[in-house]
Amino acid sequence: MSEHSSALFVPLNDLRRNYDANSDAISATVNAVLASGWWLNGERTRIFCEAFANYLGVETCIGVANGTDALEIALRALVATRGTSKDEVVTVANAGGYSTIAARLVGLKPVYADIVEESQLADLDSIVSALGVRTAAVIVTHLYGGVVDVAMLRTKMNEAGFGSVSILEDCAQAHGARLNGRMAGSLADISTFSFYPTKNLGAFGDAGAIVTSDDELAKTCNALRQYGWRDKYSITRPGGRNSRLDEVQAAILAALLPKLDQNNARRIEILKRYTKALPEGVSLVRSPHGSAGHLAILLCDERDRLRRHLTDRRIATDIHYPILDCDQPGWFGLPQGQAPGGLPVSRKSVARLLTIPCFPGATDEEIDKVSEALSEWQP
C-alpha cells in the first residue's frame, strides 16, 4: 500500500459532498422558499410529493416530519381501518428498532420473524409461521437497500389463510430499489420512507413520507399527521399528531430526486468492486431481488478483528445493527413474541455484521483503498 494511500482517511459517509455536488440548485431553491414566507403545507411540499408518487408509481405521497412518524402513522391507519380488534404486528428484530418503536407507540405487540443469512432480509416462511388471529399487520423492511419479495409474501400469506392481513413496506433504506420492474414502496398496502440525511434520497434534516394507492388509507394518514383533523380545528380521528414535511426540506428533496437513480448506480458499482476484493471468510450481504445499495454490509466470523484491521488503515466502519430488538434493555419485560422456530439466523448474524463505506460521493481512490485493505486481510 502506498504512503499516500495509507495516509488517506476513508469516511463511512461525507454528507458535505452531497451539498457540494448540488450546491447551486439547493441554494437557489432554499433561498426561494425562505423568501416566499410560506414554510409549511405549501407548494414545495405538493410538488415533491407528486413527483415522488409518480416516481414510485403510486397514487398518493403524504409528507411527514420523519421516517419514524411515517411508520407510526401508517401502522395506526392500518389498525384504524382494517384491524381494530387485533393487537400484534409481525416484523424482524435486526433492523434497528424502528418498526418495534412504531408498533409500541400504536399499542401493538411485536412478534419477530427470522431472516435469511445471505440477504439479512425477512424469511418469508418465518413470517407466515408467526401470523395468527391477533395479527394486525406485517412490516417488511427492505434492509440495507435489498428488497423483500412482497408479492411472494402476499401469495404465501393468502395460501395460509391470512389474506386479510395488511403488509406495510418500510422503505427507509430502499429509495429507488426495484423488484420485477416495480418500485419498492409500490408493492404493499402502504409504505413509508425516511429522508434522513444519510439515506439514498436524503434531506438536510429530518423528513419522511407515507405512500399508498389506497384512498381510505391515504385519507386516514393525512388526518392523523395533522391532529386527526377532518377540517381545520375539527378532530374526528383519535391518535392524531403534528407531523409535517416542511417546505425547505421538500424543496431540497425535489432538487435531489432526479439524481437518485444515478447515485444508486454508483452505490451498486461500489458494491461490485468490493465483491471482487473479498477475502476468504468474508461475504457481502446481497439481496437476490435487486438492491439500491444503501449500505455495504460484510459478514465475518472474526468481525472485531476485521474491524481493527480496517481501522488501522484509516477506514471508518460501523455496525448496523449491534443489538436485536428483542434484546434491547429498554424493552425488557414488555410484551413480545417470536416465530415458532425462533431467531437462530438473526442471533448468529448480529455478531458478524460490519458496515464499510458506500456512498455516491466516495472517490475511486477511497474505494480502491477499502478494496485493497479487504484483499489484504487474512482470517
Task: Give the separation between CA 264 and CA 145, rounded to whole angstroms.
Answer: 10
In contact, 128 and 281? CB cutoff 8 Å: no
pLDDT tens column, 281-296: 999 999 998 899 999 9
pLDDT value at residue 4: 44
In contact, 358 and 270? CB cutoff 8 Å: yes
What string of H, E and C letters represents the secondary structure of 304-336? HHHHHHHHHCCECCECCCCCCHHHCHHHCCCCC
pLDDT tens column, 231-272: 999 999 999 999 999 999 999 999 999 999 999 999 999 999
pLDDT tens column, 325-367: 999 999 999 999 999 999 999 999 999 999 999 999 999 999 9
CA proximity to 11, closest of 378, 325, 355: 355
In contact, 242 and 72? CB cutoff 8 Å: no
pLDDT value at residue 14: 98
CA proximity to 211, closest of 226, 200, 197, 221: 221
Residue carrying C-alpha cell 444508486: 264
| DSSP single-letter state for residue 108 | P
Phi first, then psi: give them for residue 146, nearest 5 degrees: -75, 160
pLDDT value at residue 114: 99
Q: What SS3 class is residue 231?
A: strand
pLDDT of 179 above 60? yes
Angle at CA of residue 371, ends 366 and 373, nearest 5°: 95
pLDDT tens column, 296-329: 999 999 999 999 999 999 999 999 999 999 999 9
Q: Which residues contact 150 (CB under 8 A, 6 or more apart)?
A: 140, 167, 169, 179, 187, 188
Domains detected in the chain: 1-379 (3.40.640.10)
Tell me the pTM: 0.97
- What value does the mean pLDDT take over residues 165-177? 98
pLDDT of 20 above 50? yes
Phi first, then psi: give them for residue 51, nearest 5 degrees: -65, -40
Per-residue pLDDT band at 5 (split at 50, 70, 90): low
pLDDT value at residue 84: 74
- What value does the mean pLDDT take over residues 175-198? 97
The strand ranges marked E within the chain are 60-64, 88-92, 109-113, 135-141, 166-170, 178-179, 182-183, 190-194, 208-212, 229-231, 234-235, 282-284, 296-300, 337-338, 353-356
What's the first-to-final CA gap in the chain, in angstroms?
Answer: 19
